[in-house]
Amino acid sequence: MTLHAYRGEILSLAHDPAEAPDAVRHDPDGVLVIKDGVIVARGAADDVLPRFPGVEVEHLPGLVVPGFIDAHVHYPQLDRIGSHGEQLLDWLDRHIFPAEKAFADAGHAGSVAEAFLGELLRHGTTSALVFATVHAASVDAFFAAAERRNLRMACGKVLMDLGPEGLRDDPASALAESEALIAKWHGRARLTYAVTPRFALTSSDEQLAIAGRLLADHPGVLLHTHLAENVREISEVAERFSDAADYLDAYDRFGLVTDRSVFAHGVHLPDRSCARLAESGAGIAVCPTSNFFLGSGMFDFAQAEAHMVRLGLGSDIGAGTSLSLLHNGGAAYQAGLFKGYRLDPFRALWLATGGSARLLHIDAKVGALAEGQEADFVVLDDRATPLLARRTAGASLAERLFAMQVLGDDRTVRQTYVLGRCAWDRDALGSAP
Ligand code: GUN
Ligand code: ZN
């Protein structure tokens, strides 16, 4: 297989800047050398290129960063973004559950999955941890579409035996269908299975125990659910699990709090939960635009940092208002300021790349543009709009990155590469991801 080199300005984070210094890896004139979709060399062009005489070199016009990794998103909610008027529980009843019922139809699921993956690539997102619906066919449709595009994706059938009429499974079918989906998809191509109880209120104790059993029986699968998002939700959980120490404990008693567990939101957490999350290695997908949109609250970055809770970044479409993890990084900064925390732009980039990769257990494969990793990357355009061009002219790297987080969106993504191949080019006429 031939080698191919991409030359340009390259930026990535080697680890969480909040955990240790020297996390930023910046090559102003850098190069990625790629073989069979994998990065075999990275560094300053003057150092690396002489080691590969005759290699074909392509120039990348922009700031090259790892492909974004969305740690929490619902593909069936793509067409419900911007549904007006309710906080979480009423929003689910009025807007989301009716839309999810349509995913019993495999054809509908397949067409939304295609549109969703196209949108992810247009926004620079190359991996995600994704909610399907309660229907096994919705998971088949998603994984088949992701496999065709060679994407590294995680997904699972939603478990919800206490859900509304028409969107409900039962413990036995939840177990059987999840087992079958794990056997079919987990570890195939670039795919990971996630056991996905919707949240504590939509699963019986019996079903939560089944989720714990699935997790224990299948090393490598993830656990994906929601936690402590909304005040009314939390009080209903406290009422049902009256002997639990807190919301997280309601999951913990069923074996659902592990280093493979990803909890979306965690907006209202007692210190006990944060300590337990850190001790277990479980992570929180921070979903700032969703937390604004549903009036859920502001994530407490200082509390999470004090406990060293692992964090990633999620768009949480359709409660979130943008699939752009640049934009969600800017929103995370604003949420942080409400509680006196100044989210550094490099840490916001880490949350959207290496942080999310660690939550999804794919950090050996993607997220840092390191040698040996798969070549999923994005070319950002810090002059994508006239205003962005004015704001970034003559600015430092940190200022340029922050400006793209505050002002950026899909227009800021010039190209998206998957395994070293261009999967989206904003400027190619007639292209569709
Ligand atoms: N909690 C339970 N289900 C959902 C959902 O679909 N979206 C959000 N944001 N929170 C949830
Ligand atoms: Zn969600």
3-state SS class at 324: coil
Of the ligands numbered here, which is closest to the C-alpha atom of 236?
A: 1
pLDDT value of position 200: 98
**SS percent in the chain: helix, strand, coil, step 5:** 40, 25, 35
Residue ranges of alpha helices (H) inside 55-104 are 88-91, 97-101
**In the beta sheet, which residues pair with residue 219?**
none
Segment 84-102 shows an average pLDDT of 97
The Cα–Cα gap between 285 and 315 comes to: 9
Out of 83, 196, 199, 315, mutate this one to test ligand 1's pocket (max ligand atoms within 8 Å of CB): namely: 199
- Longest Cα separation, the chain: 68
pLDDT digits (tens, 9 = 90+) for 9-45: 999 999 999 999 899 999 999 999 999 999 999 999 9
The Cα 363–Cα 361 span in angstroms is 6
User: For ligand 1, is residue 226 a contact (CB within 6 Å)?
Assistant: yes
CA pair distance 135, 137, nearest whole angstrom: 5
Q: Does the C-beta of 293 come closer than 6 Å to ligand 1?
A: no
Which pLDDT score is estimated for 433?
83
Q: What φ, ψ does residue 428 adopt, rounded to 5°?
A: -80, 120
Helix or strand holding residue 350 (H, E): helix 345-350
What is the rounded distance in angstroms from the CA atom of residue 301 to the CA atom of residue 336? 6
Is residue 347 scored above 90 in pLDDT?
yes
Q: Is the shortest distance between the CB of 228 and ligand 1 below 6 Å? A: no
Q: How is the chain split into domains, by residue range?
A: 4-66+367-428, 68-343
Report the nearest-CA residue for atom 9 of ligand 1.
319
CATH fold, domain 68-343, is: TIM Barrel (3.20.20)
The answer to whether residue 136 scores a pLDDT higher than 70 is: yes
Instruction: Report the candidate in 15, 13, 61, 60 with the shortest Cα–Cα distance to residue 349.
Output: 13
State if residue 92 touches ligand 1 by the CB under 6 angstroms criterion. Answer: yes
CA of 345 to the centre of ligand 1 (A): 27
Q: Grade residue 1 by pLDDT with cuts at 50, 70 and 90.
A: low
Give the C-alpha separation, 165 to 345, whole Å: 44
Asked if residue 370 has pLDDT above 70, the reply is yes
pTM beyond 0.90, yes or no: yes
- Please provide the average confidence, as pLDDT, over all residues in the chain: 97
CB of 66 closer than 8 Å to CB of 354: yes
Q: Which ligand is nearest to the CA of 130?
A: 2
* pLDDT for the residue numbered 131: 99
Report the alpha-carbon distance of residue 123 to residue 410 in Å, rounded: 5
Mean pLDDT of 71-90: 98
For the CA of 287, the nearest atom of ligand 1? 9
- Whole-complex ipTM: 0.99
pLDDT at 178 over 70: yes
Query: What is the distance in A from the centroid of ligand 1 to the CA of 344?
Result: 28
| CA angle, residues 130, 317, 429, in degrees to nearest 5 | 95
Answer yes or no: are the C-beta atoms of 386 and 349 closer than 8 Å. Answer: no
202: nearest Cα among 248, 159, 250, 162: 162
**pLDDT (tens digit per residue) in 379-422:** 999 999 999 999 999 999 999 999 999 999 999 999 999 999 99
Asked if residue 233 has its Cβ within 6 Å of ligand 1, the reply is no
Is CATH 3.30.1490.190 the right assignment for the domain spanning 4-66+367-428? no
